Amino acid sequence: MATNTTAPLPPSSRRRPRRGSRRPTRVLFHYEAVIAINESSTTAHAYTRNMEHIQVSLCLKRPPLPSTLFVHSSDLNHHVLPDIVCSVDDLLLLRVNMGRDRFDVYAKDFDYFVYKIHSSSPSLELLEQPHPCFHARDVDGHYTVAALNSTRIVHQYELHLFQSHTSSWSSSMVNYDITDGGQIVHKDTSTVITIGGEGGTMGWVDLWHGILLCDVLETEPSLRAVPLPSPSVDKVWGIGDPVQRRGIAFVRGKGCLKFVHLEIADARLPGMDHETKAPSFRVDGWTLTTWSNTAMSDSLEDWHKECVVQASDITIADMAISQFLEDSGLLRTSLSNQPKEEQRNLQNLSMYQPSPCLSGEDIVYLVAREKNRHPKAWILAVDMKNGGRLKGAAYFGIPSEYSGYSVVYRPSEISKYMNLTKHMNPPATVPDIYTSISGSPGPTRRFDVRKALSFPN
């Protein structure tokens, strides 16, 4: 079970967020599951590879509050928390470690399950083995599971497909030879998007450079490339994990790609931070820029810039949100009698992992931290309209083993397919979330695997 490892938040932060009147079209899952039994109408049962019982259930909250996945089995490795590999429509692809080692984690020790929500009885299905493609970084649901593995030949990949109706794997070689101005538009997969359609189109995304699209359900699938916008100014463009600076989503209802780039203006300070043991930075500001693309061809002209929001221009119209941010310790008002290091406004926060809203609203979700690589994480929801407005904020907790740039949330539209009267949990107070998410049963070794499911319409 999760354990509380630090002191609770101040009593003044224990305000119950207001319940929205509209049906939520998305939720934000905590990236890691909680190992515990949480029997509810969302609970589904199955058996592991060793024929041991396993059960999975959900606890859903309205964004930006974190939703939680609960997993329990006597067969799983308690040192490696189960995680959500991806979410598409009414399905979740889950990864559960069945090994016993605390530090040496092997691909062969993972079982993969497909959880499907249903109004009467959710289901949980163990993916048939072998699944050799799942040890790669760039994997991606009747359903089809698709994985694209690179080969030793430039521009050539091996496409693995698992069909649920046959419970079997197949593989084929696929190629692409499209470049953008002489530049390769795909190098390393950062994330995967599901577009669907008759061809079951998938997109393997290198967030620094471009997308490889593939109609995985075609008799002879092939790859085509879509470039991504380059930032106008960014000193770290193309360096490091792009998930920390860029995000992408396919909005099914609008038939378009949504793309967001986070640009940060900061300066390196002398020495290392004594608390995080990481390089220290002064953040002077940050900017969010969003684009949309309906054509998805090999031309950069298909991308249309929509909104540009400066952090210093973002308004916090709701006083309850402002008070929560101050009480929780993330945001402090700059006062002349405060020490300089205590002066922190919205534009001075360390920001990570921008993500467009899956429903197509002009909202971008962000991970906010007090300073560079601080383990505590908050989720901010920024409305990009009219210069920017902070629409919501929630404390998301501390990952079980924080590595400085850990992914902490997974967007999902599974709530669209649920009977909310039956399944949706009422909004929790901030301490409720803190207690349930902030810890773990033991240290884990994180493998940053990003995958997705492909579903035909």
Domain ranges across the chain: 11-437
Which of 104, 113, 192, 101 has its CA nearest to residue 148? 192
List of residues 6+ apart from 323 with CB closer than 8 A = 12, 13, 15
Residue 121, class by beta-carbon neighbours within 10 Å (0-12 exposed, 13-18 middle, 19+ buried)? exposed
Best CA proximity match to 328, nearest among 2, 3, 17, 20 = 17
Which distant-in-sequence residues (6+ apart) come within 8 Å of 254 by Cβ?
294, 360
Give me the phi and psi of 101, to 5 degrees please: -85, 140
Evaluate if residue 20 carries a pLDDT over 50.
no
What's residue 137's pLDDT?
A: 33
- List, in sequence order, every residue forming a beta bridge with 283; answer none if it has no partner: 266
Query: What is the Cα–Cα distance from 291 to 69, expressed in whole angstroms?
Result: 31
Q: What are phi and psi of 227, to 5 degrees?
A: -75, 160
Angle at 46 between CA 135 and CA 55, to 5 degrees: 90
CB 358 within 8 A of CB 411: yes
Task: Return the percentage of the chain with pLDDT > 70, whole number.
Answer: 75
3-state secondary structure 19-76: CCCCCCCCEEEECECEECCCCCCCCEEEECCCCCEEEEEEECCCCCCEEEEEEEECCC
């007090």: which residue's tokens? 370
| Mean predicted confidence (pLDDT) in 179-198 | 77
CA distance 198 to 216: 10
Q: How far apart are CA 81 and CA 73, in angstroms?
A: 12
- Whether 9 shows a pLDDT value over 50: the answer reads no
Are the C-beta atoms of residues 289 and 263 closer than 8 Å to each other?
yes
Separation of alpha carbons 56 and 94, rounded Å: 10
Q: Is the dihedral of CA 216, 219, 220, 224 positive or negative?
A: negative
- What is the distance between the alpha carbons of residues 378 and 274, in angstroms, rounded to a whole number? 21
User: Smallest Cα–Cα separation from 98: which of 34, 38, 31, 49?
Assistant: 49
Q: Is the pLDDT of residue 68 over 60?
A: yes
pLDDT of residue 1: 25
Nearest to 328 by CA among 2, 7, 1, 5: 7
259 phi/psi in degrees, rounded to 5: -135, 140
Note the pLDDT of residue 430: 28
* pLDDT of residue 182 exceeding 80: no
Residue-level pLDDT at 370: 87
Asked whether the bond before 130 is cis by omega within 30 degrees of 0, the reply is yes
What digits encode the pLDDT tens for the residues 250-307?
A: 998 899 999 999 999 999 999 898 888 888 889 999 999 999 999 999 899 999 999 9
Residue 401: the pLDDT is: 63
Dihedral of the alpha carbons of 30, 33, 38, 39, in degrees to the nearest 10: 100
- Per the DSSP assignment, residues forming a β-bridge with 420 are none
- For residues 402-406, average pLDDT: 63
Stated pTM of the model? 0.80
Contact 342, 355 (CB under 8 A): no
**Angstrom distances, CA of residue 243 to CA of 82, 349, 420:** 21, 18, 31
**Average confidence (pLDDT) over 207-216:** 92
What is the per-residue pLDDT for 234?
Answer: 58
Find out whether the peptide bond into 64 is cis, omega within 30 degrees of 0: yes
Residue 71 in tokens: 């997993």
13 by DSSP, 3-state: which?
A: helix
Tokens for 6? 């630090």
Lowest mean pLDDT among 89-93, 225-229, 396-400, 427-431: 427-431
